[in-house]
Structure 1
Amino acid sequence: MYDAPSPFTYPPTPAQEPPNISAIYQHIDEDTLNAILNHELPAAELYKLDTRRILEAQWHLIDLEDSTVSFRCVPSALEIYQTLDSLLVPLNTYFSILCIHGLSNGQPVTLPCHFFRYSSHLIKIAAQYEWQAVLLYHFAFFARRCCEMSQGSYAGWEKIDVDLMEELLVQHRKQHEVTLSVI
């Protein structure tokens, strides 16, 4: 079995420098990285981590052209996150950043497991419930986890938030059409 060489080992040794997250994620601006590491990035701004949408991360609300001022509309969350993959791709980058930072700062090696479980949960509920409700659930769930992470706890990502599911999802179950084929 081939093991790729790695400049970092876990757990970090005292002489080992922590990884430079800015160097690893060069396409993400410093303010966004700091917001992630301080657990202050709103869920609606995850698109800033998606290399497919990187130019949109620099949306400007005001155009100054020919001495006139015009205002642009900021897209809604449903316009930005139209599909599950439009959310999962940047969310996985978010989780990767948290893993690198957390593991290099003493979080348990099980840290990535919390994030994997949430990603699986998100995939499951996206198959069962209307997308708009899933997105709203994710935003609320994300906000709750940011509060917990600011206190040092990451385990909440692997829990199913039954209260939020009852409040935001249950009444939005997808209607599966039953088709009968006559042969």
Structure 2
Amino acid sequence: MFPMNPTSVCTYPPSPIQEPYDIGSLFQTIDKELLNAVLNHDLPAAQLYKLDTRRISEAEWHIVDLEDSTVSFRCVPSALEIYKTLDSLLVPLNIYFSILCVHGLQNGQQITLPCHFFRYSSHLVKIAAQYEWHAVLLYHFAFFARRCSEMLQGNYAGWEKIDVDLMEELLLQHRKPQTSDARKATKRR
């Protein structure tokens, strides 16, 4: 057991922050224009990768190459090339949610704001295990667009709901085939 120093006792809930955080100083690796796009709900879901410092930057795609006085064009990578796995989507999405949480809580949003985002992240993990990745990505893009329009009205609760209409439209026909282990588990029930 750790000895407690009476001067370091923590209380819950924490005391209110006296001065608002400068959100730019908390997210120093994120360009100010990009940060504003997140806060104004203008950042499209397909561009979340810009928040992830681990990922390839757009400048490295060499959309136009000028070599030996010739011009060649390369295609911008598709969403499936950028977001190859759940991890490649969740990392920038969590940064996006962190920005919204800090800003929202600082500006009077309910303390439950992060819960909405946690539930959506959990939902993504579940559907990624059940459905083909390309369909999950389409679902996410459509879901994200719907939430952005709601957030413009100050409503963040939509992130925690399951959008049955979108699931029917984009996911159900793309269920992953069951593995033999999953079939055995189903038979045992």
TM-score range, shorter chain: 0.7 to 0.9
Distance 1:25 1:4 in 2: 29
Q: Deviations over 1:87-132 (max 9, x none)?
A: 0000000000000000011101000000000000000000111111
Q: Deviations over 1:118-177 (max 9, x none)?
A: 000000000111111000000000000000001110000000000000000011111013
Shift of 1:11: 4.5
Uncovered stretches (5+) of structure 2, i.e. residues with no partner: 185-189
Q: TM-score under structure 1 normalisation?
A: 0.86
Q: Secondary structure at the match of 1:52?
A: coil
Among candidates 92, 97, 100, match of residue 98 of structure 1: 100
Residues 116-131 of structure 1: matches in 2 within 5 Å?
Answer: 116-131=118-133
Among candidates 153, 156, 160, match of residue 158 of structure 1: 160
Among candidates 67, 73, 76, match of residue 75 of structure 2: 73
Q: Counterpart of 1:35? A: 37
Q: Counterpart of 1:56? A: 57
- The one-letter code matched in structure 2 to 1:167 is E
Residues 18-33 of structure 1: matches in 2 within 5 Å?
Answer: 18-33=20-35
The percent identity for this pair of structures is 73
Q: Counterpart of 1:114? A: 116
Q: Secondary structure at the match of 2:178?
A: coil
Uncovered stretches (5+) of structure 1, i.e. residues with no partner: none
Shift of 1:64: 3.5
Pairing 1:172–2:174 present: yes
Shift of 1:82: 0.6
Structure whose CA Rg is larger:
2
Shift of 1:81: 0.4
Q: Deviations over 1:41-64 (max 9, x none)?
A: 0000010111111x4143452234
Distance 2:127 2:9 in 1: 35
In structure 2, relative to structure 1, the CA distance for the partners of 1:178 and 1:28 (3 Å cut) is: same
Q: Secondary structure at the match of 1:51?
A: coil
Q: Secondary structure at the match of 2:121?
A: helix
Alpha-carbon RMSD across the aligned residues, in angstroms, is 2.4
Among candidates 135, 138, 147, match of residue 136 of structure 1: 138
Q: Secondary structure at the match of 1:47?
A: helix
Which shows bigger deviation, 65-74 or 95-104?
65-74
Shift of 1:69: 2.9
In structure 2, relative to structure 1, the CA distance for the partners of 1:157 and 1:10 (3 Å cut) is: farther
Q: Secondary structure at the match of 2:71?
A: strand
Q: TM-score under structure 2 normalisation?
A: 0.84
- The one-letter code matched in structure 2 to 1:56 is S
Work out the number of aligned pairs and report it: 174
